[in-house]
Chain A
């Protein structure tokens, strides 16, 4: 049996951008405000499967330390009161990766040109195929599940409706990646990509981290991470940014959502890797075009978009 945990007050996370929400009395994840994230066991096998992944991965010595850093720390399973009032349920307890960010700007991107995988039910296969073909998953190799941007001009968060985000075509997805690093996201004008080099670029930026992950995916045959996401986030609170030094932005990549992982069986996760490479290319393009605009002083579209 799992340990029962009662004392602290758990509430819905402030900064969730995708997945089931605990708000409005539904079943969703909770946080304790002290750095832990409680994810309820989803129906069927999925909760157990995700717990299995975290358990195996956290003790896996074959994956190097710097790769472990890209996954939320695992703190076992605990039984707590579910967010929808249905009583006590087992929850996977993870590191709350945004807990020490004041106003994080966050994006959740589901990686892979297909979210289905061999041996799933026909029903699930059809559901996945429909979504993959309707969204940017098939053409781009990934799709944005959700994002929220803290806008400095308005001093508030902008979080587009999930349905709108799921309906993005390739150009709209590219635009979202530009808005993600812009100071004028809410305005209708062309995104200024003012934070592109701080967030995406640099030796500790998003791109550098994604390239480390890519190198691991080129050879690791342990896991196939079907339907998993890259969560990317950075500190966007003005007072923190003004106080801090070079790395006040603390741009971070984390891999999340392992309910559909399967054993690699000696084959690399080519589905995830292909999508990851496409994601990397998109970010590189934004960095390059924002570099060019710095040089000329005018904003220019690079690579025809």
Chain B
């Protein structure tokens, strides 16, 4: 089995300081090391429950990575890894954005220390104000013909207007590192719009979240992916995926109102961009 570090990790844990990071193989699989404490177990428990939950409709299942069980992997000290579908294996030049959903990332079952840590992060970012925050993103720059990533520190400090700029840059074709030029949002309709675009997918998820009481997806992210290679000829193949289930808890008959509120807010941001792009093309 030939394993290597994934190319397009935009957020979350990477391999450093001797601790194992995620790996990918050449068969479309993603190997995620089990996180410490109980988080790895919780994530496995979620995937086990979800993959066998017959009440989750198929059209919702597509928004989750396929689960292939757990495996001890050589070269990472025999550490157990969660084996998942590599969400990027079918993309040749993917732009990826990780958006952490919810106006709070803490939850009642967490330790007091964790709650305080989350409260600080939530207040400092757009989580409290907007119901979500952008954890990271990487965009293919069609002018420079290379991938561009915003500075991590800058990203952590952005406010609501910064979020709007980031969401536009994510679908733009002009030089992204140039802060003086306005993002052209050239791919907004192909990525965000259309009958298979991001907005349509988010609206499908929203309907499911208005009713499902199985899981509370604390601190989960929505990953947005699209293809840059031949985007004008073949379309963007934009995809929404939910990831990071280390803090998922039982819904106990209550909907995940925290995730849902944030999702509705994010939907509104995306819709605003689409509308302003439509309006400017009409003018």
A binds B: yes
Residues of chain A whose beta carbon lies under 8 Å from any beta carbon of chain B: 113-114, 118, 133, 138-141, 170, 218-219, 221, 265-268, 270-271, 273-275, 277-278, 280-281, 285, 303-305
In Å, the complex CA distance between A133 and B106 comes to 12
In Å, the complex CA distance between A305 and B211 comes to 15
Q: Kindly identify which residue among A113, A170, A218, A267 contacts B258, using a CB–CB cutoff of 8 Å.
A: A113
In the bound complex, do residue B131 and residue A140 qualify as a contact, i.e. CB atoms below 8 Å apart?
no
* CB of A208, distance to nearest CB on chain B (Å): 16
Identify 8 residue pairs between A and B in the complex whose beta-carbon atoms are under 8 Å apart, listed by A's number: A113-B103, A118-B128, A218-B264, A267-B130, A268-B264, A274-B261, A277-B260, A285-B253
In Å, the complex CA distance between A266 and B68 comes to 42
Q: Is B189 in the interface zone, CB < 8 Å from A?
A: no
In Å, the complex CA distance between A268 and B265 comes to 6
In the bound complex, do residue A133 and residue B104 qualify as a contact, i.e. CB atoms below 8 Å apart?
no
In the bound complex, do residue B264 and residue A304 qualify as a contact, i.e. CB atoms below 8 Å apart?
no
In the bound complex, do residue A273 and residue B160 qualify as a contact, i.e. CB atoms below 8 Å apart?
no
In the bound complex, do residue A281 and residue B123 qualify as a contact, i.e. CB atoms below 8 Å apart?
no
In the bound complex, do residue B104 and residue A114 qualify as a contact, i.e. CB atoms below 8 Å apart?
yes
Mask, B240-283, CB within 8 Å of A = 1, is 00000000000011110110111011011000100000000000
* CB of A134, distance to nearest CB on chain B (Å): 11
Contacts of B253 in A (CB 8 A): 170, 285, 303-305
Q: Within B101-160, which residues are at the interface with A (CB < 8 Å)?
A: 103-104, 108, 123, 128-131, 160
Residue of A nearest to B216 (CB): A139
Contacts of B257 in A (CB 8 A): 113, 140-141, 274-275, 277-278
In Å, the complex CA distance between A268 and B103 comes to 12
Residue of B nearest to A170 (CB): B254
In the bound complex, do residue A281 and residue B265 qualify as a contact, i.e. CB atoms below 8 Å apart?
no
Q: A265-B129, A274-B257 are in contact. List 14 more A-B contacts (CB 8 A).
A: A218-B267, A267-B129, A270-B103, A270-B130, A270-B261, A270-B265, A271-B131, A271-B261, A275-B257, A277-B210, A277-B261, A278-B257, A281-B255, A305-B253
In Å, the complex CA distance between A114 and B213 comes to 20
Contacts of A271 in B (CB 8 A): 103, 131, 261
Residue of B nearest to A174 (CB): B253
Chain B contributes a number of interface residues (CB within 8 A of A) equal to 26
In Å, the complex CA distance between A285 and B130 comes to 29
In the bound complex, do residue B130 and residue A281 qualify as a contact, i.e. CB atoms below 8 Å apart?
no
In the bound complex, do residue A140 and residue B160 qualify as a contact, i.e. CB atoms below 8 Å apart?
no
In the bound complex, do residue B104 and residue A113 qualify as a contact, i.e. CB atoms below 8 Å apart?
yes
In Å, the complex CA distance between A158 and B44 comes to 48
Contact of A270 with B264 at beta-carbon distance under 8 Å, contacts A118-B123, A275-B257, A281-B211 already known? yes
Q: Kindly identify which residue among A133, A221, A285 contacts B108, using a CB–CB cutoff of 8 Å.
A: A133
Residue of B nearest to A304 (CB): B253
In the bound complex, do residue A278 and residue B255 qualify as a contact, i.e. CB atoms below 8 Å apart?
yes
Q: Kindly identify which residue among B130, B211, B264, B272 contacts A273, using a CB–CB cutoff of 8 Å.
A: B264
In Å, the complex CA distance between A285 and B103 comes to 25
In Å, the complex CA distance between A221 and B255 comes to 23
Contacts of A218 in B (CB 8 A): 264, 267-268
In Å, the complex CA distance between A218 and B262 comes to 11
Residue of A nearest to B252 (CB): A170
Residue of B nearest to A142 (CB): B257
* CB of A137, distance to nearest CB on chain B (Å): 10
Contacts of B272 in A (CB 8 A): 266
In Å, the complex CA distance between A139 and B258 comes to 9
Residue of B nearest to A129 (CB): B119
Closest 4 CB pairs of A and B: A274-B261, A270-B131, A270-B261, A274-B257
Residue of B nearest to A265 (CB): B160
Contacts of B258 in A (CB 8 A): 113, 141, 274
In Å, the complex CA distance between A221 and B268 comes to 9
Contacts of A273 in B (CB 8 A): 260-261, 264
Contacts of B211 in A (CB 8 A): 281
Contacts of A170 in B (CB 8 A): 252-254
The residue among B123, B128, B257 with the most chain A CB atoms within 10 A of its own CB is B257
* CB of A292, distance to nearest CB on chain B (Å): 16
In the bound complex, do residue A281 and residue B210 qualify as a contact, i.e. CB atoms below 8 Å apart?
yes
Q: Kindly identify which residue among B123, B255, B265 contacts A267, using a CB–CB cutoff of 8 Å.
A: B265
In Å, the complex CA distance between A170 and B250 comes to 14
In the bound complex, do residue A281 and residue B213 qualify as a contact, i.e. CB atoms below 8 Å apart?
yes
Residue of B nearest to A141 (CB): B257
Contacts of B210 in A (CB 8 A): 277, 280-281
* CB of B107, distance to nearest CB on chain A (Å): 8
* CB of B142, distance to nearest CB on chain A (Å): 29
Contacts of B213 in A (CB 8 A): 281, 303
* CB of A263, distance to nearest CB on chain B (Å): 12
* CB of A109, distance to nearest CB on chain B (Å): 14
In Å, the complex CA distance between A59 and B252 comes to 42
In the bound complex, do residue B130 and residue A277 qualify as a contact, i.e. CB atoms below 8 Å apart?
no
